[in-house]
Amino acid sequence: MAKQNPGPVPEFKYTPGERLKVTDEMKIAYEEDGFVLVRGLFTQPEIDKLEHAVNLGHVMKHAIALTDGKGGKLSMVLWNHPGNDYTGLFGRCRRVVDTTEELLGGEVYHYHTKLNMKEKGKVGGFEWHQDYGYWYKNGLLFPNLLSVFIAIDKCDKENGCLKVLRGSHKLGRLDHVRIGSQNGADPDRLEECKKVLEEFYVELKPGDGIFFHCNVLHASDQNWSDRKRWVLIPCYNRMDNDSYVDHHHARATKLHKVDDSALMDCQEFEDLSGKWFMDPSEDKTIVAKKVNEDVPSENENAKQ
Ligand SMILES: O=C(O)CCC(=O)C(=O)O
C-alpha cells in the first residue's frame, strides 16, 4: 500500500486577547490528521510565569521518575484536578477548554494534566503509543478524549519533540504490549502503520500547542541535546464518557473555566489544594517512584 500524502500540515494561530475561534479548517484538520497545531497558544510571559511557578518547588516536589524502554530517564508531575493555582489555569482557560469541547463535540472535564520534563544532559523518550491504548483500561467506553501538548521550551528533533503518525486516529485502538517498561503499540502492526502514514515531527516554539485525539499514535525520542525539554499536557474526557470504574484519574467533575486573561492576573502559586497529585506509593495501578526515592530500577517506570 502506498504512503498517503495528505499535503502540508495546516497551522493555526492564536491571537492574544481574542477568542480562539474553532474554524471549519481546524475541524477538518482534527478529523483528517487527528490533531490541530496552534502557534502561539500561550504567550511568552504566560510560559515564563509557568516556569517560575514550577521552579518555586511546590509542584515539583510531586515529581515522579520514569524510564523509557532504553533505560533513559525523565520525570513527570501529574495532577488529576486543575485546582486554583497558576499551573491549573492552563487546563481551565477558554482557549484550551472551549476549543477542546468543540473538537470533541460536547462538554468536557479535566481528566488530568502532565508536566513532562526531559532535562538536558539526561535522556528519556516515549515509545509509540496511543493514549487510549491504556486509558481504555480505565473503564472509558468511547475514545472521546484528547490531549493538549503545550511547549514550555522549544521542542525540536534534537531534544526529543513529539512525533505523530498523521491520521492514525482512524486506525481505532491498537493492541499495546509492554516495551521495556512502557506500554507501546504492537510493534509489528506499528511498522505496517508507518509504511502508510506520514511521521510528523511536531517542532514547537515555547507556547505553541497541539490538540490531539487519544488514538493518535505518538512518541518522542530521547533528549541528547544540551537543552531541557519541558511540556505541559492537559488531557480531557467528554462529560458523557465518564469511566465506569474508580481509577487513578479523575471521574467526571464540573470544570470551572476561566477567561484567558486570568493567567496573567493570577498570583496564586502556593495553594495546591484539590489537585490530587499522582503518588506512586499510594497508587497500585502504576509502577513508578517519587524522584529521589531509592527503589530498585525495575520499579522506576510508569505509564498512565
Ligand atoms: O512528552 C512527550 O514527549 C510525550 C508524552 C506522551 O506521549 C504521554 O505523556 O502520553
Q: What is the pTM of this model?
A: 0.94
Higher per-residue confidence, 289 vs 219: 219
Q: Which atom of ligand 1 is nearest to the CA of 233?
A: 9
Residue range 11-299 forms a domain whose CATH class is: mainly beta
Residue 169 backbone dihedrals phi, psi, to 5 degrees: -65, -20
Query: How far are the Cα atoms of 28, 30, 171, 272 from residue 196, in angstroms, in the given order?
Result: 20, 19, 11, 45
Residues 140-184 have pLDDT tens digits of 999 999 999 999 999 999 999 999 999 999 999 999 998 766 789
**Domain spans in the chain, listed from the N-terminal domain onward:** 11-299
Pairing status of strand 199-202 against strand 162-165? antiparallel
Q: Residues of 174-188 as b/e, b for ≥16 C-beta within 10 angstroms? A: bebeebebbbbbbee
- Mutating to test ligand 1, I would choose from 233, 301, 303, 304 the residue with most ligand atoms within 8 A of its C-beta, which is 233
Question: Ligand 1 center to residue 76 CA distance, Å?
Answer: 10
3-state secondary structure of 124: coil
C-alpha distance across the termini of the chain, in Å: 33
User: Residue 248: what pLDDT?
Assistant: 94
Segment among 4-13, 62-71, 267-276 with least mean pLDDT:
62-71
Grid coordinates representing 18?
481574542
Confidence band of 284 (pLDDT split at 50, 70, 90): very low
Residues 56-106 have pLDDT tens digits of 999 999 999 887 878 888 899 999 999 999 999 999 999 999 999 999 999
Distance CA 129, CA 174 (A): 9
Q: Is 104 in the pocket of ligand 1 (CB under 6 A)?
A: no
Distance CA 110, CA 235 (A): 6
